[in-house]
Structure 1
Amino acid sequence: MDINANTESPFEMKVSFNRLLEQYEQLKNSSSSHIAEHANKVLNMAQKHAILRDGFSDLDLLETYREEIDMLLQDAFSSLLTTNEIKTAQVPFYNHIFKSSQRFKDILSNAGQNFELKVKNMPTDQTYIIASSIILKACYGYDLNFKRPFFYEIPDANGIMRYYKILYNADFTEIKPKENAVKITESDFNQLLDNFENIELWKEKFPVDSYEFKGFLICNIFDVTDDQSISNIKTALIQENKRQDEVFMKDFHDIFRSLLGLKNIKVGFSIYNEDEETFEQVHGNGIESFLLNKRNSASCKDALCMWSYEKLLKENKYFSVSDVESAFKKAKGRAPHISSMHEQGIKSAIFAPIANEDGLMGILEIVSEVPKVLNSINANKLVDVMPFIVSAVERSKNEEENLIKAIIQKECTSIHDSVHWRFEKEAKNYIKDQLNGDEPVFNKIAFKDVYPLYGQMDIKGSSKARNLATKNDLQLQLEAIKALVKKAKKQRDLPIYEQYIFQINKYIDYLDNNFQVDTERQINSFIREEIEPVLNHVLETNTLKQEVDKYLDLIDKTTNSVYQHRKDFDDTISNINKEMAILLDEKQREAQLMYPHYFERYKTDGVEHNMYIGESITKEDSFNPIYLYNLRLWQLQVMIEMENAYYLMKSQFPVSLDVASMILVFNQPLTISFRMDEKQFDVDGTYNARYEIVKKRVDKAFVKGTKERVTQKGKITIVYSQKEDEREYLRYIKFLQERNYLDNDEEIVELEDLQAVTGLKAIRVSVLYHKDQDDKAFFTYEDLMKEINV
């Protein structure tokens, strides 16, 4: 087999022992007769086989001259060291080994017949450029320092992966330019420096087969399993999203198996919660805690005996259990961690504290189903890896704390993306003042001349529906109690039972005819103070136990009362808010693409939203009133979509409720500032406060001269005060009527004066609905209700 066949390289390769023979030519003049005699013997043999000096590319000749090559390499491969040294002689670039020490042969034999030896880290796709780089140094003196560590990964007889570092000795190689070689100048070298990936350029400077490479490599190989295992642990711990990676823990097990030289081991972790003094599971794919044994958490003192507790938590020192079975018999149930391991079939284990100067952060758990393989001796190997694990846990804790803060900010005190730049700018100024030694102050954050938009989808009659649900639950509970007391009275005719029945009937009458805010409190107090002691007495006397248990099954454990109708109501409100908020958030993301603006929403008995748009929020010289008009039309359309979406899903909710939608128009720009105490934006100035007053009260306002609320189910209500706003929104309504979003029944009404606010008007117009998403027909609210109730 010719090594130059079917390959593209700047080298014409030949296996040659010329440089080695040159060494022997010097040794033949040695003052040591033994060395000189051996050198002459080698040279005489080589003289008979000139091809060994001239070189050859046919690899089959390596076998032909096997005996001669063994004689040439006798000094390099000492018989005395062959079972200790790991050494090979091979053809460069091809990983073709033609001579090796006995120990290397044994390593390959233990790996199994199907094992294929490959060099790790060898960049096969860059071989041509690497060969050219070698030419640059050998022939022109330009050193690109392309050296990289190369390894073999070879499993041992037990299947444990071991790592071997390869050091190449190129003393016996020589490189010479051929006639077609291009002479490399400094200019060429400088050009190549910036074009490592340009293979065509390298081929231009180093044409195929333009240099002759003669010789062979001696490879000295070293077992670096411990060092590489530590490096692999370090690399694995640096990875992002380790917990979500299913492969991570499998690789982690394999790395520790290599480090300890043990096949049947597993690695687990548990986190120490200092505030609650508990061990907790690390949540992630494939991550277990053998200490907790499938429990999510456990008190430290419930998971450990006193000795192991002191060792891990107080002294921050590791300990091992080499024989769990023996320890289990001695402990007699007094050592929880021993019992836990015994239950899991674990036979030996090491527990190592993951601790820094602040104290314990977690536990590294290494376990095996084989007794005595894990012990205090090999536990010492953890000393070198624990610093990396500690650093990784510290980083993970910091990341988790930052993530928790981010979630809290997002879910509880969210700062909208449109204004985040302003907070970031102020935070940078704060840090700069701190570093300069000045007293840092987080200055007021305000945005001037922004236009507000407000909308809400309110649940109509929510207070009445909530009261009705409360009455029904109380009535159900009182009727159940009355039936129970009547049965108790039949068993034992006590006058007190008659009095309880009288009181219960009185409360039921209150519920039917005179339900007030305080009625619920009175009834709950009566049940707690008078009825519950009776039920406890009945249970103690072991009478009517089945009936009492049946009553208790009605009682919700959280509220300690019947919570059926109220749960239906609460679930309905929650689901309405959730679904409407999701729809609004989805639409809002689309609106941000039209023009950036501030947005926030709230869940109450319905969903409210605020928007502010203006130059100061975008920080760009790009604002135009057209963007305000566009956002107003978008808001009106989205409110109509929310109405449709709600009535399509209304029948799915436990309680049938109606909604009413309203938009508040404010004509003048205002200033908003962030209130640190409430973590939200609010308007600035006395005049602008009028806007907030209207927002809070307008949905409860009456049409002037009537007791009719301005908001109505099935209609969109647009509240305003300026004639130009009226004209603008009538244009939008006309546009949406043409597209069958709104009915042709718009009306303009005046509102009763609110506190400090007069002159408000409203446009009301009915929404047209679909029966379902694919339906092309349009219905009024009344039509839709008939369809839904069919």
Structure 2
Amino acid sequence: MEPITIDVTQNTPYGLQKLDSSISFRGFISFLESKIDQEETVKKTFFSLVLDKLRSKPGFSQDIPLSEVTNYKEELSLIYGMLMPPIANEKEVFWALSAPVSPVVFYGTSGFYSLLFEKSGDLRCDLIEDRGVNYKQKMQMLYSFILEKLYHFPPLHHPDMIITLKDEESGLQKYYRVHIDNRFCEVYAKGSLPELDLDILRSDLHENFDVNAFSSLLPHSLFHFEGFSVITLNDVTAEHAVENIKNTILDRASYDPKTYFNYVAGALKMLVENPRVDFGLMAVLRVNNKLVFDRSSILFSKLMSAATENDMAEQTYLDMATQYFESPKTLLLRNLGAEDVKKQDFIRILQNDGVESYALLPVYHDNKVVGVLEVYSKEQKSIDERLLAKLDIALPWIAQMMTNYIDEFNSQIDTVIRDKFTSLQPAVQWRFRETAWHYIRDKALNPQNAEIESIQFRNVYPLYGAIDIRNSTIERNAALREDLRLQFNVLIETFTVLKQKLGFGLADEMIFKCRKWITEISDESTDNDEMKIRDFLENEAHPFLQHFKEESLKLFGSGAMDPGELVLRNRIDQYFDMIDEDHGAAFANRRELEASMQAINSSVNLYLDLFRTEIQESYPCYFEKFRTDGIEYDIYIGQSIEPQKRFNELYLKNIRLWQLTTMAAIARITHSLIPQLEKPLETTQLIFINSGSIDISFRDDERRFDVEGAYNIRYQVIKKRIDKVHVKGTGERLTQPGKIALVYFNNKSAEEYVGYVRYLQEKNTLLDDLEFFDLEDLQGVTGLKALRVGVNLQSDWN
């Protein structure tokens, strides 16, 4: 303990040190006198001895100039002994005495002074920062003290004053809570006290403390302060680190995943007070109760990051996690170099990435493991039980973080299911939630008669579109014909070998049947009966060959095989290899066709998803896709879909223009795919224009929306029948590759779309070849008309 006087705010503009104050210990002496009168234990004797010692120097009971306070070293030491526990280690205690309500320190522990000074001897003047938030807090404390002492205002609760300090050894930030004890201070008014409205002051002190307003009402110059203050600094780095983690988790939406993880990892590093220790996180993600590897979250793990570089991440995680989570426990490896790499593949992966010490801590939420926390370092023996114990205080929040990860993952799964596999889309989800609530409410009131309401949307405007793969049935039949022709030719060759090697006469009949099938398959004027062909192959030809293959195995399984038998056996194996659906030559044409169709539909699907996202931004609408050989979609928009937002026909016109533009883009995209396709396929684009509104309702049996009412059903019938409609009197299909066909009844609707066509022609999106047609009558549908316009497939347009 040394009586060293320092002004820790000597360079700040506010100057709390300039208060009119004097150092006095009379208040402390009075405090001791009262304690002696109250005390009945042996402490009374000790207090009396200290009091006598303090009184022995007459000057100690008077006001002491700051320059002379160092003359009372023994007395100051006694005060320290009275205010702090006798067993306290002054190197670890940050304690000091200062001028009354002023940060001018004149006596303190060696720990306090070492905190104030750099190793170079320079003063850390920002230790008790006299600006910004801390300044406001200190001024609030000052005025609260004046009001309590002179106006008998009840004491107020003050927010903690926190200071930050960079640790010289670790380089990490440390946080200290400043506690200033003014029990031994007094304040005196130099003149008459100003009259104040205490109710207004109480509100201002609690809610919106204005330093300037209080300085005007109660300027410092009106008061004289006497006594001394006790300053104590408590290391709250651990609390602050946990608070940082908590605030980061609560404000998750403000951060991208990487920043979010880095903030939490930085707080953990602060908690263990070691800059050479790093952290990783792995949440336990399951689908249908099976562990899954999610690259977006798992790669915040050091082990998984290292494994990813070797393309081992997923398998490493699944192998290790499956075994670990059967019996989760803390794993501590102080020195990876001393471990048996052969037994633990993950140790080798970590070592290759420079890790020398590693620990794995299971993290629990509601008594269930939700993930693991990795602790690792590139230095040996940097991690031990003592360091891991420091993390205990943060584990509940790490558990919350991982639980949030799991909830986000499950929410993503639910969103995909909702968007891709069910009709429950965000635009109409409010109606389902409302219906669900009504059912719960009614069931509570009358459990026997509660029913689910019918979910309907009235007066919505429908938009229908279809992207069809041209001649898909013809292409599929041609692919099937080519594959079957090859299969039967090879089958004939196989039966021929069987007849030659075994002299089995029944093989001739099988050859005869195969040739008959080839004749039927080659006749393009007849439709191939695929079921009958499959029946012949599976119930006659294949069992025939399988029998001789099994017989050869029985006869020659344990010895050398006859050359003829070997040739036959190999021929049969080659045939069955050829008819493998995934790799065999007899399915090559069908695989190529399916791959080409899949490429087209995937591209169309992707673009329609973008289209759906864009149109939702202008006005919420219901968008549903259907898979045929191509893709069809329905869009419904109207006031009943979104009651909270006023509907205007401008939104309908906007979405119609968007639909036409999207169809043009899809025509161009699918055309550009042709050189990349194994089977060159083209698409046609069809739009049905419905001039009026319809009603739709949710069908529980099909889990989708459908039209209702006789008039509305007519709309559905037309949709289903126009895909192959012909131009009246010509026999020509309306839909053609590279063109958009628009079918309508009402001339007014056509006029609207003609305007959109002219606009897109001006933008070089569509060609200048707009055609008008009357269409042939369909079953139950007459009077249909159509527009058709070509898409500019070559020039650049956005």
1:698 matched to 2:722: yes
Q: 1:408 corresponds to which residue?
A: 417
Q: Cα 1:731–1:100, aligned 2, differ >3 Å: closer, same or farther?
A: closer
Once the two structures are TM-superposed, the CA of residue 759 in structure 1 deviates from its matched residue by: 0.9
Q: 1:68 corresponds to which residue?
A: 71
Give a deviation string over 1:417-475, Cα, whole Å, max 9, x none. 44333333323334444566756543111122233221222221122223344555666
Once the two structures are TM-superposed, the CA of residue 761 in structure 1 deviates from its matched residue by: 1.9
Equivalents in 2 of 1:392, 1:4: separation in Å? 41
After TM superposition, the structure 1 = structure 2 runs for residues 576-615 of structure 1, keeping only pairs within 5 Å, are 576-588=600-612, 591=615, 596-615=620-639
User: How many aligned residue pairs are there?
Assistant: 742
Alignment check: 8 A CA contact 1:601 1:607 kept: yes
Query: Which stretch has the larger CA shift, 31-40 or 654-663?
Result: 31-40
Once the two structures are TM-superposed, the CA of residue 523 in structure 1 deviates from its matched residue by: 9.5
Equivalents in 2 of 1:24, 1:405: separation in Å? 72
Q: 1:766 corresponds to which residue?
A: 789
Alignment check: 8 A CA contact 1:270 1:279 kept: no
1:171 matched to 2:194: no
Query: Which stretch has the larger CA shift, 535-544 or 8-17?
Result: 535-544
Equivalents in 2 of 1:703, 1:611: separation in Å? 26
Once the two structures are TM-superposed, the CA of residue 166 in structure 1 deviates from its matched residue by: 4.1
Alignment check: 8 A CA contact 1:277 1:300 kept: no
Q: 1:44 corresponds to which residue?
A: 59
Q: 2:40 corresponds to which residue?
A: none
Equivalents in 1 of 2:591, 2:188: separation in Å? 89
Equivalents in 2 of 1:211, 1:187: separation in Å? 22
Matched residue type, 1:35: V
SS in 1 for 2:640: helix
Counterpart pick for 1:255 among 248, 259, 268: 268
Q: 2:594 corresponds to which residue?
A: 570
Matched residue type, 2:457: F
Alignment check: 8 A CA contact 1:132 1:202 kept: no
Alignment check: 8 A CA contact 2:33 2:51 kept: yes
Once the two structures are TM-superposed, the CA of residue 684 in structure 1 deviates from its matched residue by: 0.7
Give a deviation string over 1:654-682, Cα, whole Å, max 9, x none. 44322222222334432100123333210
SS in 2 for 1:303: helix
Q: 2:257 corresponds to which residue?
A: 244
After TM superposition, the structure 1 = structure 2 runs for residues 626-775 of structure 1, keeping only pairs within 5 Å, are 628=652, 631-632=655-656, 634-648=658-672, 650-704=674-728, 707-722=731-746, 725=749, 741-744=766-769, 746-754=771-779, 757-773=780-796
Alignment check: 8 A CA contact 1:715 1:765 kept: yes
Q: Cα 1:597–1:222, aligned 2, differ >3 Å: closer, same or farther?
A: closer
After TM superposition, the structure 1 = structure 2 runs for residues 119-134 of structure 1, keeping only pairs within 5 Å, are 124-134=131-141
Once the two structures are TM-superposed, the CA of residue 326 in structure 1 deviates from its matched residue by: 13
Q: Cα 1:654–1:26, aligned 2, differ >3 Å: closer, same or farther?
A: closer
Q: Cα 1:266–1:615, aligned 2, differ >3 Å: closer, same or farther?
A: closer
Q: 1:460 corresponds to which residue?
A: 470
Alignment check: 8 A CA contact 2:137 2:159 kept: no
Q: 1:137 corresponds to which residue?
A: 144
Q: 1:192 corresponds to which residue?
A: 204
Matched residue type, 1:145: H
Q: 2:3 corresponds to which residue?
A: none
After TM superposition, the structure 1 = structure 2 runs for residues 214-233 of structure 1, keeping only pairs within 5 Å, are 217-222=229-234
Equivalents in 2 of 1:226, 1:12: separation in Å? 31
Counterpart pick for 1:444 among 439, 451, 454: 454
Equivalents in 2 of 1:579, 1:274: separation in Å? 28
Equivalents in 2 of 1:158, 1:6: separation in Å? 27
Alignment check: 8 A CA contact 1:456 1:661 kept: yes
Give a deviation string over 1:187-242, Cα, whole Å, max 9, x none. 75267358727665455546687766666542334456666666666556556278
**Over aligned residues, Cα RMSD in angstroms?**
5.7
Equivalents in 1 of 2:605, 2:135: separation in Å? 60
Alignment check: 8 A CA contact 1:480 1:551 kept: yes
Matched residue type, 1:422: R
Equivalents in 1 of 2:712, 2:549: separation in Å? 59
Equivalents in 1 of 2:738, 2:589: separation in Å? 26
Q: Cα 1:590–1:298, aligned 2, differ >3 Å: closer, same or farther?
A: closer
Q: Cα 1:522–1:117, aligned 2, differ >3 Å: closer, same or farther?
A: farther
Alignment check: 8 A CA contact 1:355 1:361 kept: yes
Q: Cα 1:39–1:479, aligned 2, differ >3 Å: closer, same or farther?
A: farther
Q: Cα 1:251–1:630, aligned 2, differ >3 Å: closer, same or farther?
A: closer
Matched residue type, 1:761: L
Give a deviation string over 1:610-659, Cα, whole Å, max 9, x none. 22333433436955666655654554454344434544554454443222
Counterpart pick for 1:89 among 96, 103, 107: 96
Q: 1:778 corresponds to which residue?
A: none
SS in 2 for 1:616: coil
Q: Cα 1:323–1:758, aligned 2, differ >3 Å: closer, same or farther?
A: closer
Q: 1:783 corresponds to which residue?
A: none
TM-score by length of 1: 0.73
After TM superposition, the structure 1 = structure 2 runs for residues 518-557 of structure 1, keeping only pairs within 5 Å, are 518=530, 521=534, 525=538
Q: 2:28 corresponds to which residue?
A: 23
Counterpart pick for 2:643 among 612, 619, 624: 619
What's the % identity of the aligned pairs? 22
Q: Cα 1:606–1:561, aligned 2, differ >3 Å: closer, same or farther?
A: same
Q: Cα 1:323–1:441, aligned 2, differ >3 Å: closer, same or farther?
A: same
Equivalents in 1 of 2:128, 2:630: separation in Å? 61
Equivalents in 2 of 1:322, 1:714: separation in Å? 66
Q: Cα 1:633–1:133, aligned 2, differ >3 Å: closer, same or farther?
A: closer
Q: 1:787 corresponds to which residue?
A: none
Alignment check: 8 A CA contact 1:182 1:206 kept: yes
Equivalents in 1 of 2:9, 2:319: separation in Å? 69
Counterpart pick for 2:435 among 426, 429, 434: 426
SS in 1 for 2:80: coil
Alignment check: 8 A CA contact 1:121 1:149 kept: no
Q: Cα 1:257–1:663, aligned 2, differ >3 Å: closer, same or farther?
A: closer
Query: Which stretch has the larger CA shift, 595-604 or 521-530?
Result: 521-530
Matched residue type, 1:423: F
Alignment check: 8 A CA contact 1:246 1:285 kept: no
Equivalents in 1 of 2:709, 2:651: separation in Å? 25
Alignment check: 8 A CA contact 1:162 1:258 kept: no
Once the two structures are TM-superposed, the CA of residue 507 in structure 1 deviates from its matched residue by: 7.1
Matched residue type, 1:9: Y
Equivalents in 1 of 2:433, 2:104: separation in Å? 60
